[in-house]
Amino acid sequence: MTAFPELSIAAAGKGLEAGDFTAEELTRACIEALESGRDLNAFITETPDIALDRAKASDARRADGRAAGPMDGIPIAIKDLFCTEGVLTTAGSHILDGFTPAYESTVSANLKDSGAVMLGKTNLDEFAMGSANVTSYYGPVKNPWKGPGGKDLVPGGSSGGSAAAVAGGLCPGAIGTDTGGSIRQPASFCGIVGMKPTYGRCSRWGIVAFASSLDQAGPLTRTVEDAAIMLGAMAGHDAKDSTSAPIDVADFSAGLGEGVKGMKVGIPKEYTLDGMPAEVEALWRQGMDWLKGQGAECIDVSLPHTKYALPAYYIVAPAEASSNLARYDGVRYGLRVEGSTLDDMYEATRGEGFGDEVRRRVLIGTYVLSAGYYDAYYRQAQKVRTLIARDFTEAFEQVDVLLTPTAPSAAFAIGEKMDDPVAMYLNDVFTVPASMAGLPAISVPAGLDGDGLPLGLHLIAKPFDEVTLFRAASALEQAAGFDAKPGARPSTPQGGAS
């Protein structure tokens, strides 16, 4: 039998329903896996007591015949960007030292209401700014997959802790947030499924804001079906978020297994990059063949402003972040470094509290919004964003989904690309355009590169058409038959019950 924590959510749910095991047993196994997997540094805070309480409550509900649904009793990990009532919430930053919210984010509250069991808070790039999970105040996360010679690799970012936890068999699912690729790119690096819903599908209330016009919560799971199940428990209109869509939660699993016969799949030619590794391009072609093999029609489309999405993103996101992060001022919560005057205290607190990458982005954002530069940078970037969104709208007049690679490479070694911010930013080149247009997108593990490291394929759908997205993703998943697992972690034994 598969080790408990390595079960899929769907399988674990069936086991719970059949009475094969209890939520408490499942949760205890995950807690053990967390402990033996600490080498990954995937968690900032483990919450075993809360987990066991909720697991027992879930078992009690089930015994009463009141199980809440497919997430009831399922242990999950929560990115430490979601505020959790009574539990330390850090955003991976020194500046939130000791911050314990008196409130629970809408998404984590929805999951709690669905019976999901919180195992702990996962590590992330500081304020979700990063693509390798190397900017966390709590140290880098290791990818469960090892490089040549057992080299430690990055898990991708910013939801690197969530991705590593799921890929490393610590828990069946986790939630992350995606601003420019922060769910999909680590999913690709870690060989799991990562999904970003349409902007407005999940409430942002209670999620530490990075870039308000882009941030979206989403699931990281081992299967497409699990992602659909989990999103069903996360999504929904929230009157506390003005950008939350007043749209009912669809049955995201509705199209699973229906296949893609007759589906029109767009292949955007602008996603072919100079210097893209041959195996990434080859996998992309393979993906087209898989879908065609199941009766889909692949159509070449053009998204002419694709190359400008990334530079536009690196104006819009830092601009919003520079303003969103102004509230971390040492007064009401978190770190305070004393100073002789108010400004002195602000400067000392923020100088010490923010890491290098956050400082870089806040300064960039401040600069592009400042007098004399606003029109040239911010306004121009938002106009380009309009053009990017228009490209997608036009493409979706011809096709149902778009297929692209998720990331331009597989996971790289911890320490690489650290001294060149722009090289690091290029990790998100394929994921950022959909973010800029607010579209739902998913990364599905599809193959391995020459070093045996996972690579994902990326699907993008129309706004609020997650059902089609999951349908195409499940077809891709089936065809790819990806079943590779990270190698045994060198210094730690395989955790979990078996």
Partner 1 sequence: MSLDKDTIRKIAFLARIRVPEDALDGLAGELSNIIGWVEQLNEVDTEGVEPMTSVADMDWPRRDDEITDGGRAQDILANATDPEPAPGGEDGNGGGFFTVPKVVE
Partner 2 sequence: MTYLISGESGDWEVVIGLEIHAQIVSEAKLFSGAATAFGAAPNTQVSLVDAAMPGMLPVINEHCVAQAVKTGLGLKAKINLHSVFERKNYFYADLPQGYQISQYAEPIVGEGTVILDMPDGETREIGIERLHMEQDAGKSLHDQDPKRSFIDLNRSGIALMEIVSKPDLRTPEEAGIYLRKIRTILRYLHTCDGNMEEGSMRADVNVSVRHPGEDLRTRTEIKNVNSVRFVMQAIEYEAERQVEAYESGEDVVQETRQFDSTKGETRPMRAKEFAHDYRYFPDPDLLPLVLSQDLVDHIATLIPEMPDEIKQRFMADFGLSANDSGVLVADMDTADYFEEVANGRDPKQAVNWVTGNLFGALKKAGLPIAESPVPPESLGELLDLVEDGTISGRMAKEVFEEMMATGKDAADIVEEQGLEQITDGAEIEAFVDRVIAENQDQAADVRNGKEKTIGWFVGQVMQATGGKANPKMVNELLRKKLSG
Cα dihedral across residues 389, 395, 400, 405: positive or negative: negative
Query: What does the alpha-carbon distance between residue 335 and residue 355 come to, in Å, rounded to a whole number?
Result: 13
CB 190 to partner 1: min, Å: 27
- Binding residue for partner 2, selected from 63, 239, 363, 488, defined by CB under 8 A: 239
Distance in Å, CB of 51 to partner 2, minimum: 22
**280-284: long-range contacts, CB 8 A cutoff, minimum separation 24:** 280/405, 280/407, 280/408, 280/409, 280/449, 280/455, 281/405, 283/405, 283/446, 283/447, 283/455, 283/457, 284/403, 284/404, 284/405, 284/457
Q: Which of the listed partners (partner 2, partner 1, none) does 315 bind, with a CB threshold of 5 to 8 Å by partner kind?
A: partner 1
Q: What is the C-alpha to C-alpha distance for residues 242 and 200, in angstroms, rounded to an integer?
A: 9
Under the binding rule (CB under 8 A), the answer on residue 33 touching partner 1 is no
Q: Which helix (H) or strand (E) holds 120?
A: strand 117-122
Element (H, E) at 380: helix 380-395
Residue 437 interacts, among partner 2, partner 1, none and using kind-specific CB cut-offs from 5 to 8 Å, with partner 1
351 in contact with partner 1 (CB under 8 A):
yes
Check 182, 253, 443, 474 and give the catalytic one.
Answer: 182
* Residue 354 engages partner 1 in binding (rule: CB under 8 A): yes
CA-based end-to-end distance of the chain? 6
Shortest approach of partner 2 to residue 201 CB, angstroms?
A: 15
Per the annotation, the verdict on 158 as an active-site residue is yes
Contacts of 215 (CB under 8 A, 6+ apart): 128, 177, 178, 179, 204, 207, 209
Cis, bond preceding 158 (omega within 30 deg of 0): yes
Determine whether 212 is an active site residue: no
Q: Which stretch binds partner 2 (CB under 8 A): 40-48, 265-273, 288-296, 368-376?
A: 368-376
Residue whose C-alpha is closest to residue 132's, from 412, 485, 408, 458: 412
Give the C-alpha separation, 202 to 244, whole Å. Answer: 7
| Contact residue for partner 2 among 237, 333, 359, 418 (CB under 8 A) | 333
User: Catalytic residue at 498?
Assistant: no
Please identify, among the stretches 114-122, 238-246, 267-275, 474-482, the one whose residues bind partner 1 according to the rule CB under 8 A.
238-246
The span from the CA of 150 to the CA of 364, in Å, is: 37
- The stretch near partner 2 (CB under 8 A) out of 94-102, 299-307, 405-413, 466-474 is 94-102
Q: What's the closest the beta carbon of residue 456 comes to partner 1, in angstroms? A: 23
User: Interhelix angle for 466-480 vs 224-234, to 10°?
Assistant: 160
The residues in 74-93 that bind partner 2, with binding defined as CB under 8 A, are 82-83, 89, 91
Q: How many residues does the chain have?
A: 498
Tell me which residue of 402, 415, 473, 481 sits closest to 444, measured CA to CA. 473
Alpha carbon distance 365, 145 (integer Å): 35
Partners of residue 461 on adjacent β-strands: 401
Q: Among 236, 277, 421, 452, which residue interacts with partner 1 (rule: CB under 8 A)?
A: 421
Q: Please identify which residue in 326, 376, 484, 488 interacts with partner 2, judged by CB under 8 A.
A: 326
Pairing relationship of beta strands 75-79 and 117-122 according to DSSP bridges: parallel
Q: Are 135 and 129 in contact (CB under 8 A)?
A: yes
With H, G, I as helix, E, B as strand and everything else as coil, classify residue 82.
strand
Based on the shown chain and the rule CB under 8 A, indicate whether residue 383 belongs to the binding site for partner 2: no
Site string for partner 1, 295-324 (x = CB under 8 A): ----------x-xx--xx-xx------x--
* Partner whose binding site includes residue 398, from partner 1, partner 2, none (CB under 5 to 8 Å by kind): none
**Binding residues for partner 1 restricted to 102-141, rule: CB under 8 A:** 102
Long-range own/partner contacts, residues 412-415 (CB < 8 A, 24 or more apart): 412/132, 412/147, 412/153, 412/154, 413/147, 413/151, 413/152, 413/153, 413/154, 414/132, 414/134, 414/140, 414/142, 414/152, 414/153, 414/154, 415/134
- Residue closer to partner 2, measured from CB, 268 or 365: 365
Per-residue x/- track, 429-448, partner 1 (CB under 8 A): -------xxx----------
Considering beta carbons, is residue 352 or 449 the nearer one to partner 2? 352
Q: State the Cα–Cα distance between residues 141 and 42, nearest whole angstrom.
A: 6
Among 137, 378, 392, 482, binds partner 2 (CB under 8 A): 378
430 binds, among partner 2, partner 1, none (CB under 5 to 8 A by kind): none
Q: How far is the CB of 88 from partner 1 (least distance, A)?
A: 11
> Judged by CB under 8 A, which stretch of 23-31, 55-63, 97-105, 149-157 contacts partner 2?
97-105
Closest separation between CB of residue 332 and partner 2, Å? 6
Of 59 and 428, which has the nearer Cβ to partner 1? 428
Stretch that binds partner 2, among 218-226, 367-375, 387-395, 480-488 (CB under 8 A): 367-375
Residues forming beta bridges with residue 447, ordered by sequence position: 455
Q: Examine residue 397 and tell whether it contacts partner 1 (CB under 8 A).
A: no
Q: Report the run of H or E that residue 300 belongs to, with start and end.
A: strand 297-301
> Which residues within the stretch 49-108 sit at the binding site for partner 1 (CB under 8 A)?
98-100, 102
CB 163 within 8 A of CB 174: yes
Active site residues: 79, 158, 182
List interacting residues with partner 2 (CB under 8 A): 82-83, 89, 91, 96, 99, 101-103, 105, 204-209, 211-213, 239-243, 319-320, 322-323, 325-327, 329, 331-333, 342-343, 346, 366, 369-371, 374, 378
